[in-house]
Amino acid sequence: MRRDLCDGVGVARLLNATLVLPKFEVAAYWNESSGFADVFDVDYFISQMNGYVKVVKELPLEFASKEPHHVDCSKRKGQFDYIESVLPSLLEHHYISITPAMSQRRDRYPQYAKAALCQACYNALRLAKPVEEKAKKLLEVLPKPFLSLHLRFEPDMVAYSQCEYQGLSTASLEAIEAARVDRKPWTGELAKIWRKRGKCPLTPRETALIFQALHIPTNTNIYLAAGDGLMEMEGFTSVYTNVVTKSSFLSSDDFLNMHGNTKAALDYYVSINSDSYVATFFGNMDKMVAAMRAFNGKQRTLFLSRRAFAEFTYNGLKGKELNQALWKAHRDDFVMGRGSALSDCFCEFKL
């Protein structure tokens, strides 16, 4: 949501358009019905974007009863240009909704659009006061120092990856199979190629193995920044025993009634303020957390290499030899604390 909203601000500035506060998609599996104001401080956002992009809470009356003209840019390839391709639709219909182009290069934005996007990402998007207060309280009670771990090994995540795993519990295998639908796993040589490309999520046990190779002490305080449904966690917690989650510190009623967006916001807040941040994937949250941590000078950020792990294990490395190879693969990033990459919307200046 943060990424798409930042993109929306950048596109609005490119088109010299007014931005209407977005409505979040409903996700039933997340217990979701929250709106923008439930997660973000609306008035602060609008005031901070003043001078960059005009933002309004509601549509003007002349458009309120109309459906927007939808422009789907998601499949556009190459050096996609919003001004050439989308501005004519905006001028014709006056009210449009956009699915952003996945291939859009923000580094090709003119400076004024970059400034608007960065202002939104790093200054204007502040959590709503009730959410921020809850996040601050959670951060206060966590044992210090601590490492925030964003571990992804949920059934839908594994099913979407089209990877197969050996040695999983029957419950995990059944959950993955139920989530696969028509995304069948790769087999044979294709499965090997897919895994060696780094496409397969690390299991909790593999994550613990890499942690040990990086000499992360087993008594490290670890905050698990993750949603519900993580599988095979005993593979990690049997080695790293000081693992806590947000549910450990929130009342059961508070946690059960909390929207998925709010839970994600708590994880985000804790992660950008943690002493260290480690991610087993490189998804949207990881990109945004890494960029914000770098912006705030918190550079102990690391993305574990799925590709390196697959390459070493396929080559038969085990024990001490595997640990040494994993250490070398992560050494520079781990010691320098910068991670293997930063978000492609990261700005190299403070506004």
CATH of residue 255's domain is 3.40.50
Q: How far apart, in whole angstroms, are the C-alpha atoms of residue 162 and residue 190? A: 11
328 shares a domain with 267: yes
Instruction: Judge if 302 and 245 occupy the same domain.
Output: yes
Residues 342 and 207 in one domain: yes
Task: Tell me whether residue 219 is in a domain.
Answer: yes
- For residue 109, count CB atoms less than 10 angstroms from its CB and return exposed for 0-12, middle for 13-18, buried for 19 or more: buried
User: 54-62: which pairs have CB atoms within 8 A and are 24 or more residues apart?
Assistant: 54/18, 54/19, 55/18, 55/19, 55/20, 55/21, 56/18, 56/19, 56/20, 56/21, 57/20, 57/21, 58/20, 58/21, 59/20, 59/95
pLDDT tens digits for the chain (351 residues)?
A: 888 888 889 999 999 999 998 876 655 444 455 678 889 999 999 999 999 999 999 998 989 888 999 988 876 665 668 888 899 999 999 999 987 765 556 767 888 998 999 899 899 999 999 999 999 999 999 999 999 999 999 999 999 999 999 999 999 999 999 999 888 999 999 999 999 999 999 999 999 999 999 999 999 999 999 887 899 999 999 999 999 999 888 877 777 777 788 899 999 999 999 999 999 998 888 988 988 998 888 878 999 999 999 999 999 999 999 999 999 999 887 665 654 444 444 444 444
Task: Specify if 173 maps to a domain.
Answer: no
pTM: 0.89
Same domain, 16 and 99: yes
Flag whether 118 is in a domain.
yes
Give the pLDDT score at 29: 42
Domain of residue 210, residue span? 130-153+201-348
Domain assignment present for 213? yes
Residues 91 and 141 reside in one and the same domain: no
Residues 304 and 235 in one domain: yes
pLDDT at 279: 96
Q: Is residue 174 part of a domain?
A: no
Q: Are residues 214 and 302 in the same domain?
A: yes
Q: Are residues 215 and 108 in the same domain?
A: no
Residue 53 CB coordination number (10 Å):
25
Both 67 and 134 in one domain: the answer is no
Q: How far apart are CA 125 and CA 148, in angstroms?
A: 21
pLDDT recorded at residue 175:
95
Last residue of a domain, one of 107, 126, 145: 126
Same-domain check for residues 145 and 240 = yes
Contact criterion met (CB below 8 Å) for 125 and 345? no
The residue from 91, 126, 161 where one domain ends is: 126
Do 44 and 120 lie in one domain? The reply is yes
> How far is Cα 304 from Cα 213, in angstroms, rounded to an integer?
11
Report the DSSP beta bridge partners of residue 244: 223
Residue 194 lies in a domain: no
Dist CA 280 CA 319 (whole Å):
21
Residue 311 structure tokens: 């390459």
Q: End-to-end alpha-carbon separation of the chain, Å?
A: 22
pLDDT for 34? 65
Residue from 228, 210, 220, 345 nearest 289 by CA: 345
91 and 220 inside one domain: no
Domain count of the fold of the chain: 2
